[in-house]
Amino acid sequence: MPGRARTARIAPAETAVARRLHAEHRAVRGLIERVRSVADALAGPPYDTTPVRDLSTQLKAELLPHERAEEAQLLPIVARALGPEAVGALSRTHAEIEHQVNRLDRCLTGLTGDAEPEDVVDLRRLLYGLYAILRLHDAQEEEGAFSLVPAADGRSG
């Protein structure tokens, strides 16, 4: 016999938090696309790492605080609505995003003077890997966590 359909209920205060985080989530999409474009721009000499350094600063200042806020505020809401097993993958991608941003920062810290071709290979690999994780994470949140949040007009997601 088919089970009863489960309806996730989110309290109004939690809905407001989730809507705020969803707005922030949408706002960082441009930054996500910038990760790919900065990697693409490292295609040939001369290898100017200034855009990568600027991006790293922006990732640490904007993206990481947002991901931490989602981890601390959004995932408990999703866990209460769907159960703790529903947040494992999201939590893991938050951790991986932080790890990759920190690896990028360490790689840049180790660069002194002009970047060599092998440095650029490492930077591009890190940037494209981060981009892939960010795109996957974006899709996970849109299809999972944020689909639970009713729109302002009362419809879901």
Sequential DSSP letters for 54-83: HHHHHIIIIIHHHHHHIIIIIHHHHHHHH-
**pTM of the complete model:** 0.87
Task: Give the span between the Cα atoms of 53 and 86, in whole angstroms.
Answer: 35
Q: Residue 4: pLDDT band by 50, 70, 90 thresholds? A: very low
State mean pLDDT over 95-124: 92
- pLDDT digits over 34-52, tens only? 999 999 999 878 888 999 9
Cα–Cα distance for residue pair 126/97, rounded to 1 Å: 11
Domains of the chain: 12-148 (1.20.120)
